Structure 1
Amino acid sequence: MDFRYFPAPAKLNLMLHIIGRREDGFHLLQTVFQFLDYCDEIGLRLRADGRVNRVTDIHALPAGDDLVVKAATLFARLIDDFPGVDIDIRKKIPMGGGLGGGSSDAATVLLVLNSLCGRKLSVDQLAGAGLQLGADVPLFIRGHACWAEGVGEKIQPVALPEPWFLVLDPGVHVSTAEVFSHSDLTRSSPLTTIAAFLEGAGRNDCVPVVQKQYPEIASAMQWLDKYSPAKLTGTGACVFAEFATQEQAQQVFEQMPMKYKGFIAKGLNRSPLLDLV
């Protein structure tokens, strides 16, 4: 049996408000997620010995730490007669950029394995399992642009405009734990609403801390701001700006300084994976 490949789309946090903190230390959020038509490709090939095997050599990510391996191992515990699987990853989404690549890869593994093994689990069961791997995994499993609250697990689908985005990678790694533990981080933003966001309200409460700690990101946002309001996705490091057309985004992309990497992608309200599983 040959590998079959499936998309694992990137996402953007279009806004991120931190409205409180739980006793266990987790922050309470309000955020909006939208997918991008910019995807990793996950190849799966069923085995016959029950083993989970990642065939891709990713130097910076040992197989045992990879969410795709953890997702397949978790799925194996949830069903009877798991056949085993080989996993190949064609990585395109920048790692550690706030674009959700690891979570999306894990969600694709769960959804596709469930399909290949006879759909033994419901979407709700898969989302519940995915939450054990990370707060973002359920949103990729459900596959719709959404408004999320709590620690990211309370999800409500939303219909958003689907503009073009220029996404810029400043080339630094942001420690999410460092940002969320910083004494200057705002943790008491007032509650907002979906309606207010759709009317233009909303920001990313992590921006002041991230710009202070990572001047490369501050510089990237300053450059992008000249063309369209620059935003930070999650805690970064990637920043993005919205454009009405692909041509407008391309014009700015062609002026991007050589020190940055970047790409152009269209916002999607529905994950391309849903049409395949």
Structure 2
Amino acid sequence: MTAILNACPAPAKLNLFLHVTGRRPDGYHLLQSAFQLIDRCDTLDFAVRDDGQIVRTNDIPGVPAESDLVVRAARLLRETAGRPELGASITVNKILPMGGGLGGGSSDAATTLVALNHLWQTGLKRQELMDIGLKLGADVPFFIFGRNAFAEGVGEALSPLETADCWYVVIEPGVSVPTSIIFSSKRLTRDTEAVRITDFPDATKQIASSFGKNDLEMVATEHFPEIAEAVEWLSRFGNARMTGSGACVFSAFEHEHQADEVLKQLPSRWIGWKAKAMQEHPLARFLKS
């Protein structure tokens, strides 16, 4: 019987703050951030194949299968395991916007590594999967880490972080932000003073509401005024900021009904939704320390 896993969640993340603290000689930026998992997810279906082929079964506009992080993740896992005979059919059901700063593509890749490591019985441990993930993108290791985190380095140095049990309103301003535009900008601040995880004593009620800032937001809003408009509108209800390199904008609320009230007033030109904070990745049970 074919081994399958259906509707495997690939949750979104929010950057509760994002500081650029420097730049390495190789051009990579040094960051500090707090990563927050939320319960808005893409889902992926996996079926093991016995012909050694890795096939994405559905089309995703703008993402050819050969360049999809999901396909690349499966191939890297197979290569690392030294098992060229392994194959899989993968269906990616996307609801997270591309270029939204929610980590959708990275999360899809992480879910692929975790699910296929389980289905293929390759036996790799969490850190080994994180090492594979880093080859695919700086955000991938976080989703394999499996819980909210204080991130440093290029985003791969992770420490567990307890976060507030709250709700988020997220607005999609309708633009897709290429990360390269943001990080190549001369206007980007690259010398924000580093903080320590102990700088927020009340774990994250501070982070979720007003701790720090997103250093990428100023550059993104100059290129994409739609983001600035969304930040300005959502700021009427609480502390609003952009996540990641954009374009999505979010604000935290203590109660679900508060989020509902904001969404009732959302201008029709935007897509908006609510999501609950999560403390652990839904596939954490498949991860071995």
Measure, in 2, the Cα distance between the counterparts of 1:80 and 1:225: 51
- Larger CA deviation: 231-240 vs 177-186: 177-186
Q: Which residue of structure 2 aligns with residue 203 of structure 1?
A: 213
Instruction: Decide which of 256, 263, 271 is 2:266's aligned counterpart.
Output: 256
SS of the aligned residue for 1:222 comes to helix
Q: Deviation per CA, 1:202-252, whole angstroms, max 9, x where unpaired?
A: 111112111222111000110000011111101110000101111110110
Instruction: Decide which of 219, 228, 242 is 1:232's aligned counterpart.
Output: 242
Summarize the alignment of residues 27-106 of structure 1 with structure 2, pairs less than 5 Å apart.
27-81=29-83, 82-106=85-109
Q: Which residue of structure 1 aligns with residue 232 of structure 2?
A: 222
Measure, in 2, the Cα distance between the counterparts of 1:275 and 1:92: 24
| TM-score normalised by structure 2 residue count | 0.92
SS of the aligned residue for 1:43 comes to strand
Q: Percent identity?
A: 45
- Larger CA deviation: 191-200 vs 125-134: 191-200
Letter in 1 for 2:126: V
Summarize the alignment of residues 159-170 of structure 1 with structure 2, pairs less than 5 Å apart.
159-170=162-173
SS of the aligned residue for 2:283 comes to helix
Q: Which residue of structure 1 aligns with residue 223 of structure 2?
A: 213
Q: Which residue of structure 2 aligns with residue 244 of structure 1?
A: 254
1:112 aligns with 2:115: yes
RMSD: 1.3
Deviation beyond 3 Å, 4+ runs, structure 1:
197-200
Measure, in 1, the Cα distance between the counterparts of 2:6 and 2:177: 33
Q: Which residue of structure 1 aligns with residue 16 of structure 2?
A: 14
Measure, in 2, the Cα distance between the counterparts of 1:146 and 1:3: 27
Measure, in 2, the Cα distance between the counterparts of 1:5 and 1:46: 15
| TM-score normalised by structure 1 residue count | 0.96
Letter in 1 for 2:8: F
Letter in 2 for 1:126: L
Instruction: Tell me how far 1:276 sits from its aligned partner.
Output: 5.4
SS of the aligned residue for 2:136 comes to coil
Measure, in 2, the Cα distance between the counterparts of 1:271 and 1:113: 16
Instruction: Decide which of 130, 135, 140 is 2:138's aligned counterpart.
Output: 135
- Are residues 182 and 80 of structure 1, via their aligned partners in 2, closer, same or farther at CA, if it must alter by over 3 Å? closer
Q: Deviation per CA, 1:83-139, whole angstroms, max 9, x where unpaired?
A: 200000111111110000000000001011111122421111111011000011111
Instruction: Tell me how far 1:35 sits from its aligned partner.
Output: 0.4
Instruction: Tell me how far 1:162 sits from its aligned partner.
Output: 2.1
Structure 2 alignment gaps of length 5 or more: none
Q: Deviation per CA, 1:16-41, whole angstroms, max 9, x where unpaired?
A: 01111111111101001010011110
Measure, in 2, the Cα distance between the counterparts of 1:33 and 1:138: 11
SS of the aligned residue for 2:155 comes to coil
Measure, in 1, the Cα distance between the counterparts of 2:17 and 2:263: 23
Measure, in 2, the Cα distance between the counterparts of 1:118 and 1:209: 44
Q: Which residue of structure 2 aligns with residue 190 of structure 1?
A: 193
Q: Is the 8 A contact 2:9 2:111 kept in 1?
A: yes
Q: Is the 8 A contact 2:48 2:120 kept in 1?
A: no
- Larger CA deviation: 261-270 vs 197-206: 197-206
Aligned residues: 277
Measure, in 1, the Cα distance between the counterparts of 2:211 and 2:61: 41
Q: Which residue of structure 1 aligns with residue 277 of structure 2?
A: 267
Structure 1 alignment gaps of length 5 or more: none
Measure, in 2, the Cα distance between the counterparts of 1:117 and 1:26: 34
SS of the aligned residue for 1:272 comes to coil
Q: Is the 8 A contact 2:5 2:115 kept in 1?
A: no
Instruction: Decide which of 174, 179, 199 is 1:176's aligned counterpart.
Output: 179
Instruction: Tell me how far 1:268 sits from its aligned partner.
Output: 1.0
